[in-house]
Structure 1
Amino acid sequence: MGDNYIQVDVGIIGCGPSGLVTLKESLAEGHRCTVFEKSNLLGGLFTQAYQQGILVSSHLLTMFSDFVGKDKEILNKPRMLSFIEYSQYLNDYADYFHLKEFIQFQTEVKSLWKDYSDNKWKICVNNLNHIYSFDRIAICCGIFENASIPLFHNQHSFQGKIKHLKDIQFYEDFRNKHICIVGSGESASDMILAAAQYGKQAFLSIRKDHGFIIPRYIHGNRDEPADLDTSRAHHSIPRAWGVLHTYIDMIHSLIKSYFNSFFYQNEDQFDEYNLIRRTGIYMNLKQIQTSNIWTTFGTKNSNLVEALVKYKDKCSRKPGIKELKRNSIIFDDNSEEYVDEIICCTGFQILFPFLEQNSQSNSDMKRLANDAKISHNLFKHCFHPDFGDEIIWHGFARPALGAIPPLSELQARWFALLCSKKLKLPTKLEMNKQIYNYVKYLKWQLTSYRIDRLTNLTDYLIYSDNLARTIGCRPDLTRIFFQEPNLWIKLMCGSLLNAQYRLTGPHAKRKQAKEIILQARWIKQSNILYLIMLICYAFFWFVFGIESCKPASWYPL
């Protein structure tokens, strides 16, 4: 393997998508790996969440770069997988790359600390009788582990049940109940529709703005997931023009909706979908000054709109909760409603009890755990400047629009190369400087209100390209434009497949990546329009030097 070959022992905590891809990429670099998974299944959240759940990103965006899965037709007929189907995809991935032999199931990490006497990281599991020793640690337990439930005023007097999303397994549990769903994210959107379908009465409590609403499928057509619009051309639109771009995008969608209604006016199901789509557009436009397409997270699931439209007789939107009474809720508008259960779709706390609460921990470990809770204060959401590449957080960056697993894969490739000393991190001073500038940028784009509350939020394309530049696997779009124009148009106007980052660089699989990209379904009309818009913006930037017209991701932050 050469004189410069370096092999290290890597301990990986968690076996969801992030843990699996970390294992695969670390093994590809020749490292020795052990994965600790506290359950008896791989797949993380997707084996525990409500089993009627469906992903909000199509398989094209969610899949890893070098494994399509057993269903090869899904490139031409993309769709959102159910949680059960995605769990099977992860199992197939583990089988294909021979990963399961490195996983210790039903093994919970109780304690993690650094032993400075031998400069190793130590892990205690289960009964604490055995101590494992590692050179590097990858924390892959994810952002969906510890439920965050708000405290409501006068909560002690409420006789109904207060649950978290994690407590829900089957929609039928809502049958014949008065339900209040708190939150406006993608899971809340699923919950409110289920509550409206099965319950007697359903209320959706949203304190401020909802996420930018995007349906799972365009025009209700299961062959065209809405995230086929998540293209490089679309996501390179300058962020400073978010309000204008949102107006253009929403007006374009409205025109298409009314146009389609004219041609399909005798199809009741299509008319109903168009009504739901238009209502979602009007809801987005209503809050456009504070929440446009680039300044908030995407609710890539319009079930909340369907619930409000289709079940308007028993489903309604409410403001925040002011206080609870014995059998009812008083909302901020002073309306009062009888409720049996409150379902909190209010996110998760980021906690690392194996670092925080154990006899081995010293002040450094507790400080590390506390600092890592604020994901964007880590270098690229991954590394603490004080500990360098010794310990990484994988899967803690959440894209406002896009999917987490592709980001985890790029993080895993970066980490594996760092372990091999083929790449190195900047100095502590430089990392802190970049962290400061990065958070400053996020607050400009996504607003301080969201970034201070959702510290793991990031921009999908900008973050992906930033990691790809670091790894050396970002495709050379200028060269491809002149040499392979058919590939270039798919890279610009097709979905942001992670396969693009296998065209070049370490562990490139160019032939396979090119086949995936060229076979993948894409939407020509809207994405060609985005490309034309992007060219116009770029013209004003190049010719007149208007900085606000600089295309996003073209250059590093």
Structure 2
Amino acid sequence: MTINSPTATVPFSIAAMPVIASRTVAVIGAGAAGLAAARELVLQGHSVVVYERDTRLGGTWAYTPESESNLMGLDPMRQIVQSSLYASLRTNLPREVMGFRAFPFSASQKPGRDARRFPGHAEVLEYLKDFADEFGLRDLVRFGCEVCHVRMMEDHKWMVRSRKRNEFGDSREDDKVYDAVVVCNGHYTEPRIAEIPGIDEWPGKQIHSHNYRVPEPYRNQIVVLIGSAASANDISRDIAEVAKEVHIASRSVQIEELGKLSGHENIWLHSMISYVCKDGTVAFEDGKEVFADVILHCTGYKYHFPFLETNGVVTVDDNRVGPLYKHIFPPALAPWISFVGLPWKVVPFPMFEYQCKWLAGVLSGQIPLPTINEMMADVEGFYSSMEASGIAKRFTHRVGDLQFEYNDWLAGQSGSPPTEEWRKPMYLVASRKKRSAPETYRDEWEDEDLISLAHLDFEKYISNVKISL
């Protein structure tokens, strides 16, 4: 992909296409976003092929104990491990909120399943498998097929080159041409790394959370962990069970919070790292220093599309994928290429569903898009409002508190019902509880009334499915 190409132009005219009921569509990735895309596209009558580099579906929810040989993820030639899950991970949202609207995430009655309201990662994977089976999506997936090149063709088509390896390690490449491509490759494999003065001479070990799995390698060690998001909170407590000391460095920590973390004997909160030294010292901006064995970066990820060639039309600049209309369509290439799942700090699965309903309807010709100029004006207005508000470019796709407004806008475009009345308040209750009671929020809650409303909706869905059958 072309990065930072201010002079990039569209290499040919994207002419208005006649309305055709069915398109051939390549979906890249069989995680939650790719499965949602496949379902909505099929419902609109499109012919769909899903490319999945792994031998199983689930994307980042397909846990593996393996980690990459390059623990910081900086070597572009490394063998990439797709999942970023750690063994102890439980969801930080209740299952009712997490699930697709079309397929409620209720506690399964099957033997061996995790019935907790905030289940472990294995239960989420089982849910995605159930979703794929419910709607017959597995037959659409080409497992073990890595997409290595996607490029525009001059007849408004897209060439998708995939690579499939056999059991002996030999690979075979295959080129197919599609009307449209939907990019659902996720954004949890290319690590972002904190810049630390002196790090080149610091003698300790560094690792990005993408490669963290279990705490045992950190037994009796002093660990400095950078970050304040969900993974940092979970991993710090996981490691503290075996480590000698855990020191959390965060930009968001308040002065009154500095020092030992309440309820823990070996976890300390600090401001950000100021510098590190070749004698092993890690110095924090709050004036404290420790001699550490490990620095663990829980510092997020970069958007990464190494397979995508758009002649500079779509770029990634400081983690802004753009220009994109509503985080999905590049105006000059719409609707023939689209991106699902870029927004972050959101409830992902329902958002995927709304995005995919819209793009599938647009591809079928049932939903019109604004003109290229109108879409570009909207994008430029969005970027200008961010700049005027002092929001850094790297936060372009952070939707946060606006996610339900965004989902409802998408729902309006596709003629779908808006967000259920219980989903937003349930999300807000869970978020507030997570902040006030980080150790217990997964197992103690106070929104039984909202749970009842959710299950009433689930019963309506199940009844509707039985009627349609």
Per the normalisation by structure 1, the TM-score is 0.63
Aligned to 1:150: 194
Task: Summarize the alignment of residues 23-42 of structure 1 with structure 2, pairs less than 5 Å apart.
Answer: 23-42=38-57
Task: Identify the residue that residue 296 of structure 1 maps to in structure 2.
Answer: none
Q: Secondary structure at the match of 2:60?
A: helix
Determine whether 1:398 maps to 2:344.
yes
Q: After superposition, what is the alpha-carbon deviation per residue over 1:55-87, rounded to whole angstroms, capped at 9, x for unaligned?
A: 11111111001112563689xx97112111101
Name the counterpart of 2:103. 67
1:130 equivalent among 171, 174, 196: 174
- Does the Cα contact within 8 Å between 2:319 and 2:393 map onto a contact in 1? no
Residue number in structure 2 paired with 1:525: none
Per-residue deviation, residues 245-290 of structure 1 (Å, max 9, x unmatched): xxxxxxxxxxxxxxxxxxxxxxxxxxxxxxxxxxxxxx6x979xxx
In the TM superposition, residue 494 of structure 1 has moved relative to its aligned partner by 6.1
- In 1, the alpha carbon distance for the partners of 2:286 and 2:21 equals 63
- Whether 2:271 is the aligned partner of 1:314: answer no
Q: Choose from 137, 141, 147 the match for 1:109.
A: 147
Partner of residue 214, structure 1:
none
In the alignment, which residue of structure 2 is the partner of 1:324?
276
Establish whether residue 168 from structure 1 lines up as the match of residue 212 from structure 2.
Answer: yes
Cα gap change, 1:515/1:194 in structure 2, threshold over 3 Å: closer, same or farther?
closer
Measured in 2, the distance between the counterparts of 1:158 and 1:176 equals 20
Q: Which residue of 2 aligns with 1:82?
A: 120
**Map of 1:335 onto structure 2:** 288
Sort the Cα spacing of 1:517 and 1:70 in 2 relative to 1 into closer, same or farther, 3 A: closer
Q: Secondary structure at the match of 1:108?
A: strand
- The separation in 1 between residues aligned to 2:208 and 2:361, in whole angstroms, is 39
Matched residue SS, 2:89:
coil
**Structure 2 counterparts to residues 483-494 of structure 1, below 5 A:** none
Which residue of structure 1 aligns with residue 158 of structure 2? 121
What are the residue-to-residue correspondences of 1:91-490 with 2, within 5 Å? 91-116=129-154, 118-126=155-163, 127=171, 129-206=173-250, 208-209=251-252, 308-311=261-264, 313-326=265-278, 327-355=280-308, 361=309, 364-370=310-316, 373-375=319-321, 377-399=323-345, 402-440=346-384, 448-449=390-391, 451-458=392-399, 459-475=402-418
Count how many residue pairs are aligned between Structure 1 and Structure 2.
384
Distance 2:210 2:132 in 1: 26
- CA contact 1:181–1:344 (8 Å) conserved in 2: yes
Q: Is the 8 A contact 1:158 1:324 kept in 2?
A: yes
Structure 2 residue matching 1:453: 3-state secondary structure? helix
Amino acid at match of 1:393: F
Residues 1:115 and 1:128: Cα distance change in structure 2 (over 3 Å): farther
| Matched letter for residue 337 of structure 1 | V
Work out whether residues 34 and 102 of structure 1, in 8 Å CA contact, stay in contact via their aligned partners in 2. Answer: yes
What whole-Å deviation, never above 9, does each CA across 1:83-116 have from its counterpart, x for those lacking one? 1110111011111111111111111111110111
Determine the C-alpha separation between the residues in 1 that align with 2:252 and 2:105. 37
Unaligned runs of 5+ in 1: 211-282, 288-303, 356-360, 478-487, 497-513, 522-557
- Measured after TM superposition, the shift of residue 516 of structure 1 is 5.2
**Residue deviations 1:167-222 (CA, integer Å, cap 9, x gap):** 1011333221111110101100111112222210110001x225xxxxxxxxxxxx
Give the unaligned 5+ runs of structure 2. Answer: 1-17, 63-82, 164-170, 429-451, 460-469
Secondary structure of 1:157's partner? coil
* Larger fraction in strand: 2
Q: Distance in 1 between matches of 2:342 and 2:421?
A: 31
Equivalent residues of 1:163, 1:342 under 8 A apart: yes
**What is the deviation of 1:443?**
6.2
Cα distance in 1 for partners of 2:317, 2:175 equals 25
The one-letter amino acid of 1:67's match is F
**How far apart are the structure 2 equivalents of 1:489 and 1:456?**
25
Matched residue of 1:122: which SS? strand
- Counterparts of 1:413 and 1:389 in 2: how far apart (Å)? 13
1:15 equivalenced with 2:15 (yes/no): no
SS in 2 for 1:392: strand
Q: How far does residue 455 in structure 1 lie from its aligned partner after superposition?
A: 2.1
Spell out, residue by residue over 1:500-549, the C-alpha distance to the aligned partner (whole angstroms, 9 max, x if none). xxxxxxxxxxxxxx99562579xxxxxxxxxxxxxxxxxxxxxxxxxxxx
- Asked if structure 2 preserves the Cα contact closer than 8 Å seen for 1:6 and 1:421, the reply is yes
Q: Residue type of the partner of 2:411?
A: A
Deviations 1:214-253 (A, max 9, x none): xxxxxxxxxxxxxxxxxxxxxxxxxxxxxxxxxxxxxxxx
What is the alpha-carbon distance in structure 2 between the residues aligned to residue 202 and residue 453 of structure 1? 28
Query: How far did 1:29 drift?
Result: 1.1
CA contact (8 A) 1:110 1:128 kept: no
The alpha carbon displacement at 1:150 in A equals: 2.4
Letter in 2 for 1:55: T
TM-score, length of structure 2 as denominator length: 0.75
Change (3 A) 1:105 1:60: same
1:404-445 Cα offsets, whole Å, 9 max, x none, are 11111101111111111000210111112222333455567x
- Relative to its length, the structure with more helix (as a share) is 1
Aligned-partner residue type, residue 209 of structure 1: S
Q: Decide whether the 8 Å contact of 1:54 with 1:83 is kept in 2.
A: yes
RMSD (Å), alpha carbons? 3.1
Q: Secondary structure at the match of 1:198?
A: coil
Paired letter, 2:314: L
Aligned 8 A contact 2:315 2:323 in 1? no
